[in-house]
Amino acid sequence: MMIDIDLLLACGAAYKKLSRGEVIFSEGSNCSFYYQLVSGRVRWVNIDEEGREFIQVFVDPGESFGELPLFDDEPYAATAIADEDSVVIRLPMNVFHKLLREDPLLHLSFSKLLAQRVRFKFTLIKALASNDPERRISALLNYLKKENKNFCPKCNQLKLTRQQIADMTGLRVETVIRSMRHMHDKGELLISKGKVYC
């Protein structure tokens, strides 16, 4: 979901520069802002007791993130980290609420966005319940391709590393490598010079 940047600035939003690895907000903390990525990339993760990240999603420029607390007043469900040097624009929560009250179409757009994200989670949870790693990987790749996320639009090259796929599917990186090689052998994807194409 992208709100026009000029509108955000007119409402009092401000840019914030982030260095790679900088935490934007943490799981369990309270929400104060609406966030929209201007440049760079953000990963939205849950971190277990051992410090291992489970990647929920990568956020690309123009996308918003961390919206749940804006709607339910609960703490953040995940941690947002700048995956590379990035710029976000953030708007105070009370002003965001005012925008939604004044613009029903904007509110409807956010409802649709949240429904799409819930649908993705249902799809992924169903795949994660499977003991078949290829099914997990396939469900993730099919969703990302359908949503035009993490793929080069011109050549269909996947823009995720094997480690990132492992972190998104709960698999070990060695399992992802082996499974993707098997998927290549079956013609379900193409691996050429270490790059994956779907």
Structure confidence by residue, pLDDT tens digits, 2-28? 899 999 999 999 999 999 999 999 999
- Tokens (6 digits) for 173: 């990186």
Total domains in the chain come to 2
User: Terminal CA-to-CA distance of the chain, rounded, Å?
Assistant: 25
The predicted-structure confidence for 42-80, as pLDDT tens digits, reads as follows 999 999 888 888 898 899 999 999 999 999 999 999 999
Q: Are residues 59 and 89 in the same domain?
A: yes
The predicted-structure confidence for 46-56, as pLDDT tens digits, reads as follows 998 888 888 98
Q: Does the predicted model carry a pTM greater than 0.85? A: no
Residue 126 belongs to some domain of the structure = no
- Tokens (6 digits) for 118: 């819930």
Residue 52 belongs to some domain of the structure = yes
CATH of the domain at 57: 2.60.120.10
